[in-house]
Amino acid sequence: MTQPSLWRVLEPKWRTALQRIREERLRGGSGKLLTLTVVGVAFWIGVFGAFYLILKYFRGVEDVGPLLAAKVLGVVLLAFVGILVLSNVITALSSFFLAKDLDLLVSAPVDWLRLYLAKLGETLLHSSWMVALMAVPILTAYGVIYRGGPLFAPFAVLTLFPMLVLPAVAGSALTLVLVNVFPARRTRDLLSIVALGAAGVVVLLFRLIRPERLASPEGFRNLLDWVAVLRTPTSPFLPSEWATKATMGFLQGANDPLPLVLLWTTAAGAVTLGALLHRQLYATGFTKAQEGAERFVRGGLWRRTVGTLLAFLPVAKREFVLKDIKLFFRDTTQWSQLILLAVLVVVYLFNIKMLPLHRGEPVGFFYVTLVSFLNLGLAGFVLAAIAARFIFPAVSLEGRHMWLLRSSPLDLKTLLWSKYWVGTVPLLTLALLLTGLTNVLLQVRPFMMVVGMLTIVALTFAIAALALGFGALYPQFETENAAQIPTSFGGLVYMMATIALLGAVLRALWTAVYAYVRAVYEGQPVVVDAWMISWFAVAAALCAAATALPLWVGLRRMERFEF
């Protein structure tokens, strides 16, 4: 029997993607496309600009310059490979074992090799597109600075492609083995914890070894030691190192084909081995993947603790909050992200601690106050990103259950109220922790401590409301994976709105804070006058509007939802 082409096997996927684009266009999606293009291009230009400046500086440094440029490329590509392995493992689990089209494909007379190649291609595309896009401005900067010429672009594609294939094969193979050992749904839980735990450890280690010391030769005993460290390959057996060597070789005119040959032969070998492993293990793995997780839950803990604490609330609100908390903590893919969050908080505070600020008064006071003030923006951005991940999807995740919520006498205000507080309380705890600890580490004066804490509280209320409001305005009811929801167009608009709010609030506060800094700097008494209070009032009004308006708009939008 003639086998269908790979294109045909993947038809449900690409047809769905095309249909989505068509629907977007019908819904007047040209505005969205324009916004995405503008943001994407701005991001590309930003990345390109940063690398251009760094590489231009390196090119000016004799002897060591190319070594530094190669080192930076090596580290960037190594980071890409690390991200790719993790994302491929998680994507492979969905595409090879949990995707909805698998029942059809597995029951159809499609041979194992076609199924493997189709699903590998799908995994590769889903997990690598972001990295591939990110690589474009970086490699362009290398090409421009080292005058790679028109042939550099195809050469870069030729180098990057096998580097993307290898993590896809490795991730798929690892998933295949794991699914054969654990049930797929349990494997997903396990992978989420392991992957995020590993990512957390890597981030933590990377930060704690303080890589910034590499850039300052004065930290080494002599220049030769420093050059020796730069010359040592980061990872001689990893594809990122071969890709670095191939790229830098091309740019410096060294015609050594070995790195490229290594990349392609290893990729080809890996795909072959991966296919053989797939032939051996896929059928049993797929069968195991059909097993349910079957977990026995008593669930009295939340009722006794949170339930008792919320006893003053009406029963519908209380049970709604309890339900949301239970769903969050029983879904490993959700709570495991808290591991990474904890690590990021530690890294954040570590960075603040490492800042060389207390080197003398009164310059120390000025910088401490400035950093404490700017930290409000940074903390606000971190909170916005966390709200994007955990609060923005809240309305979308109710999509499949709206039949129940809308046919019951539950008031939509109750629903929104519960979602808001379930998201806001933990976010507020984190906000106070970040700002409070940072200010303690910075040893700021009471004025900045009070301003900082009040501002972050007001900002947190607004950020949570914006996340929930935009989540209701741009719902993604068909997406089952909560992690994909913030990367939608609505998520982007929400982030842009939040950044605008942060900018406006900080601008309003700056006038008041500047008056305070100047008074202290000049040894004058700090006077909280009408002028200062009016700027605090502007910041408060902005936060209040950014809290009330999105919730109101979100509620109106939810009333018009149809299922």
Partner 1 sequence: MIRLENLTKHYGSFVAVDDVSLEVSRGVLYGFLGPNGAGKTTTLRMIAGILRPTDGRVLLGGDDVHRDPIAAKQRLGFIPDRPFVYDKLTGAEFLRFVAALYGQEGDTVDRRVAELLEVFELTSWKDELVEAYSHGMRQKLIISSALIHRPEYIVVDEPMVGLDPKAARLLKDIFRQFASRGGTVLMSTHTLEVAEAMCDRVAIIQHGKIVAEGTVDDLRRQHRAGDASLEELFLKLTGGAQVRELAEVLGHGADGAS
**Footprint of partner 1 (CB under 8 A):** 185, 292-299, 314-316, 318-320, 323, 326-327, 330-331, 400-411, 560, 562-563
Query: What string of H, E and C letters represents the secondary structure of 401-445?
Result: HHHHHHHCCCCHHHHHHHHHHHHHHHHHHHHHHHHHHHHHHHCCC
Q: Compute the least distance from the CB of residue 290 to partner 1, in Å.
A: 12
CA 95/CA 172 separation, integer angstroms: 9
Angle between helices 30-60 and 112-145 (to 10 degrees): 50
Q: Which helix (DSSP H) or strand (DSSP E) does residue 519 occupy?
A: helix 489-521
Q: Cβ closer to partner 1: 281 or 555?
A: 555
Nearer residue to partner 1 within complex by CB, 153 or 402: 402
Q: For residue 356, what is the DSSP state? A: -
Half-sphere exposure of 231 (CA within 13 A, CB side): 8
* Calpha distance 293→276 (Å, rounded): 28
Dist CA 384 CA 391 (whole Å): 10
Which residues, 6 or more positions from 167, have their beta carbon under 8 angstroms from its beta carbon? 81, 84, 85, 88, 127, 128
* Residues 311 and 292: beta-carbon distance below 8 Å: no
Quick one: which of 358, 385, 338, 405 has its CA closest to 494? Answer: 385
Q: How far is CA 339 from the centre of its chain?
A: 14
Q: How far is the CB of 430 from partner 1 (least distance, A)?
A: 23
- Give the integer Cα–Cα distance in Å for 384 and 378: 10
396: number of Cβ within 10 Å = 23
For partner 1, give the closer residue by CB, 327 or 537: 327
Q: Toward partner 1, which CB reaches closer, 221 or 560?
A: 560
C-beta of 29: minimal distance to partner 1 in Å? Answer: 16
Closest to partner 1 by CB, 119 vs 185, is 185
Task: Tell me the C-alpha distance between 34 and 29, whole Å.
Answer: 9
Smallest gap from Cβ 302 to partner 1, in A, equals 10
Q: Nearest approach, Cβ of 563 to partner 1 (angstroms)? A: 5
Which CB, 363 or 404, lies closer to partner 1?
404
Residue 222 gets which letter from DSSP?
Answer: S
Q: What is the DSSP letter of 484?
A: G
From the CB of 123, what's the least distance to partner 1, in Å?
24
CB of 301 to partner 1, least distance (A): 12
Q: How far is the CB of 209 from partner 1 (least distance, A)?
A: 39
* CB-based contacts of 27, cutoff 8 Å, min separation 6: none
* Residues contacting 213, CB < 8 A, separation 6+: 219
Looking at beta carbons only, is 225 or 291 nearer to partner 1? 291
User: Is the separation of the CB atoms in 95 and 10 below 8 Å?
Assistant: no
Nearer to partner 1, 99 or 316 (CB): 316
Q: Which is nearer to partner 1, 347 or 410 (CB)?
A: 410
State in angstroms the smallest separation of the CB of 410 from partner 1.
5
Nearer to partner 1 among residue 122 and residue 398 (C-beta): 398
Output the CA–CA distances (angstroms, integers) from residue 294 to 84, 100, 175, 183, 494, in the order listed.
31, 20, 21, 10, 37
Please state the closest distance from residue 296 (CB atom) to partner 1, in A. Answer: 6
8 A C-beta contact, residue 388 and residue 467 = yes
Tokens 């009164």, located at residue? 362
Q: Which is nearer to partner 1, 112 or 403 (CB)?
A: 403
Distance of closest approach, residue 300 Cβ to partner 1, in angstroms? 10
How far is Cα 301 from Cα 307, in angstroms, rounded to an integer?
9
Residue 63 burial (CB count, 10 A): 7
Which residue type occupies 224? L
Which lies closer to partner 1 via its Cβ, residue 39 or residue 99?
99
Cβ 540 to partner 1 shortest distance, Å: 35
Residue 303 CB, nearest distance to partner 1 (Å)? 9
Please, are residues 317 and 417 in contact by the beta-carbon 8 Å criterion? yes
Query: Closer CB to partner 1, residue 353 or residue 400?
Result: 400
Q: What are the φ and ψ backbone dihedral angles of 442, each rounded to 5 degrees?
A: -80, -10
